[in-house]
Chains A and B, each alone.
Chain A
């Protein structure tokens, strides 16, 4: 299957700092990438959908100014958590697909801990 690489696997940061998470499709071009968040013992919740070269579409309740998404190329999307606070601590997961009608492949996730 296709490979989606996510980096870093885990990050610890101080409250008020910003953290960038990268998501790369290694062996295919991803027209669309998705960002999910997962709290302990809960299911994945979609945060936003990004298409290459256009602005991301955020789900209701997700602050677009806090969670900045950039999908500058067909193989790279980044999620930046700005001015992170302890309540932003979570497991963040990206996914990518080649195109409409295609299945999604997921990264290995990033565990963010904000102190």
Chain B
């Protein structure tokens, strides 16, 4: 799977939108962009995924650039419970899911 690049950490104020960027400049045409998050001492939780169109669900929105070389995960109204490590992964669905280091998002009051 192609590699991704994410900032090591980000801060966000409670109630504000959290915008988490991800670069995946070598993504292949059949690779999806997946986002998972891991709250301390728990298993990863699926958030959202997309191929080339923007996606939205009850948890977040995913914005993928037209050239698909980068994407942004948006948590529209961050809460303290959104504090977690967020992983951006490119994945065909037919291979193994490989985790990078992710972004540690700290939501503060």
Contacts and interface: CB of A to CB of B under 8 A. Distances in A.
B92 to A, nearest CB: 8
A93 B97 CA distance: 13
Contacts of A67: none
A95 interface: yes
Interface stretch (B20-28, B60-68, B70-78, B98-106): B98-106
Interface string A71-110: 0000000000000000000010111000011111111110
Interface size grouping (class) on chain A: 20 to 34
Candidate in A34, A94, A103 with the most chain B CB atoms within 10 angstroms: A103
Nearest to B94: A100
Contacts of B42: 108-109
A111 to B, nearest CB: 7
Candidate in B44, B45, B46, B100 with the most chain A CB atoms within 10 angstroms: B44
Interface string B75-109: 00000000000010000111011111110000000
Interface size grouping (class) on chain B: 20 to 34
A35 B96 CA distance: 11
A46 B98 CA distance: 7
Given A34-B96, A46-B98, A93 B34 contact: no
Contacts of A91: 41
A103 B34 contact: yes
B99 A43 contact: yes
A6 interface: yes
A86 B87 CA distance: 29
A44 interface: yes
Given A49-B96, A103-B34, A93 B101 contact: no
3 A-B pairs with the lowest CB-CB distances in the bound complex, closest first: A106-B43, A101-B93, A44-B99
Interface of B: 34, 36, 38, 41-46, 49, 87, 92-94, 96-102
10 contacts: A6-B43, A36-B99, A44-B44, A93-B43, A100-B93, A101-B92, A104-B97, A106-B36, A106-B46, A111-B41
